[in-house]
Amino acid sequence: MPIYTTSDLVARERYQLLTSLVVPRPIAWVSTRSAAGEPNLAPFSYFAALSATPFLVGVSIGHRRGLPKDTLRNVRETGAFCVNLATEARLPALNETSGEFPPDVDEFARAGVSLAEAGSVAAPYVADSPAVLECRLFKEVELGPGDNALVIGEVLAVRLSDAVPLAPGTLFADTRAVRPVGRLWGDLYALLGETPSLPRPAPGISTGG
Ligand X SMILES: Cc1cc2nc3c(=O)[nH]c(=O)nc-3n(C[C@H](O)[C@H](O)[C@H](O)COP(=O)(O)O)c2cc1C
Binding site for ligand X (CB under 6 A): 27, 40, 42-46, 60-62, 69-71, 95, 98-100, 183
Tell me whether the omega of the peptide bond preceding residue 68 falls within 30 degrees of 0, making it cis.
no
Smallest gap from Cβ 196 to ligand X, in A, equals 26
Smallest gap from Cβ 79 to ligand X, in A, equals 16
| Shorter beta-carbon distance to ligand X: residue 42 or 118 | 42
- Three-state SS at 9: coil
| Shorter beta-carbon distance to ligand X: residue 92 or 99 | 99
Q: What is the 3-state secondary structure (H, E, C) of 143-190?
A: CCCCCCEEEEEEEEEEEECCCCCECCCCCCECHHHHCEEEECCCCCEE
| Shorter beta-carbon distance to ligand X: residue 62 or 165 | 62
Smallest gap from Cβ 137 to ligand X, in A, equals 15
Helix, strand, coil % over all residues of the chain, rounded to 5 = 20, 35, 45
Smallest gap from Cβ 50 to ligand X, in A, equals 15
Beta carbons within 8 Å of 4's beta carbon, 6+ residues apart = 13, 17
CA pair distance 190, 135, nearest whole angstrom: 25
| Shorter beta-carbon distance to ligand X: residue 149 or 199 | 149
Beta carbons within 8 Å of 9's beta carbon, 6+ residues apart = 17
Smallest gap from Cβ 142 to ligand X, in A, equals 14
| Shorter beta-carbon distance to ligand X: residue 60 or 84 | 60
Comparing C-alpha atoms, which of 74, 76, 48 is closest to residue 60? Answer: 48
